[in-house]
Structures are given as C-alpha cells and as structure tokens.
Amino acid sequence: MATFFGEVLSVYSRAVEEDEEELEENEEDEQIRRELEEKRTVHLHWNPEVSELLRAGNKVQCSSFILAVGHNAASFLSVYILASANWDAVGRGVAWNERSRSGTGPSGEGSACVFYRHKDEPAVLICHVTCHIAEDQLFQWTEKVFGYLQTRGLTVTVLSDSSVADYKTADYLCSSSAPFLRSLRSSAFSDQPVCQSLEQPNIITGLPAAGVFGVFLIQEQHNKPVILLGIFSRAIH
C-alpha cells in the first residue's frame, strides 16, 4: 500500500492479528488449565515409617478399613473409637478445591482428611474426612488410597452423612424419626446388618460411593465384604 508521499507500506491483516491474539489466549488458557489441574491433584502424605514401606515397593497391610465421611460420621469415630488413645495418626490427605482449602500447609495442621492406625492391630486403619472432595477428585482419591493398601482379606466399612431432606420415601417421614440409619452392603458381607437396607430410589454419591466401589474398581476384585452405613439427620455441617 502506498502513502501520499509514495512510501510503500506492507498491508497489515486484521485477521492475522486476531489469529495471533487467539493463539496467545489459547496458550494462556492451556497454561491456566495445567496449573489448575496440578493444584487440584490429590496428595497423600504418610509418616516416615509408612513412607519408607511404600518406597520399598510394599503396600500397607490392611484387614479392616473404616472410612468416615462428614462431620457427624467423623465425630462418632472420634468420640467412640479414636478417643481410646490406641490410635496413631499415620497420614493425611490434601485435596484443594473451591470448597476445601484447609490442611494444605507443609505441617498438615488442620487437615480434614486423616488416616489412623491401631497401635495393637496395625492392620486396622481409619480415615475420617470432613473436607469436600470434588467430583473430579474422587477417582484420584480412591485410586491413591486403595492403591497403597494390601487388600487381601480386606473388609471395608463406610460411614456417611446425608440430609433427611434428601431421603426419598412414599410414606410420611416424621421429623422426630431423624436421625436414622440405612445400609448398603456387598454380597460378600456376611455379618448381620445393624439396620435396614437403603430403599430405592435413594442413592449414595460422592466420596462414600467412591469408598464403597473403590476397592472393586482399583483392585479388580468383586468379592470384597463392604458395608456402607448412612446416617440421615436434620443437621448436616
């Protein structure tokens, strides 16, 4: 293109400019996505004894794994089981997301996902989780936790919190009947259940469901005794 004085200038294409801007934006978006994915990665931190065991290529021996999800379930374990002082904290989990950012420091203070091991029976493990595990983090959490456990002869017990408002029934549900328990169990669980089964169309979602099915999916073994005990209450923290 020639100017008034005859100087020749190159034609600048707005389309090229827009393509370059779009490419830069895509690269920035991709970088943000990678950083966010890395930030949302679930991390498990173990004490020196367990860490050394895992570094040697071994797995944590576990015959009974108890997973408590939610403040009510975790409080029950804290009061009736962990208060006996026969338990050592052996690990913690960190899962950063929009609703859960506690316990992310190097010391793990205030961690809302803690693993405990019985002092006299080290094959008995408890994990209580009071933080939110996002949907895209559920498989990560399940894969890492059950991937570290030796699951031969393993029994899994899951305690979960649910709101009574989410409970579906054709009958009138009196408010005085809450809290109440419902259970789901695998066919391999032979012990007598302590409460009636969860009726359809009620379902279990989130980390409790991941805990129930995780041992099947990760270990590819379908004959594990697993039971979920869900407490339905009016107050969910």
Q: Which domains does the chain have, with CATH numbers?
A: 1-39 (no CATH), 43-233 (3.40.50.10900)
Q: Does 180 have pLDDT greater than 60?
A: yes
Q: Does 80 have pLDDT greater than 60?
A: yes
Query: What pTM, to 2 d.p., does this model score?
Result: 0.79
- Position 80, amino acid: Y
Lowest mean pLDDT: which of 7-11, 65-69, 152-156, 220-224?
A: 7-11
pLDDT of amino acid 57: 93
Q: Does 87 have pLDDT greater than 80?
A: yes
Q: Does 110 have pLDDT greater than 60?
A: no
pLDDT of amino acid 106: 44
Q: What integer best gives the mean pLDDT of the chain? A: 80
Say how many CA atoms lie within 13 Å of 182 toward its Cβ: 18
Which residue has 């007598």 as its token pair?
192
Neighbours of 85 (CB within 10 A): 7
d(CA 234, CA 215): 31
What DSSP character marks residue 8? B
d(CA 228, CA 212): 7
pLDDT of amino acid 58: 94
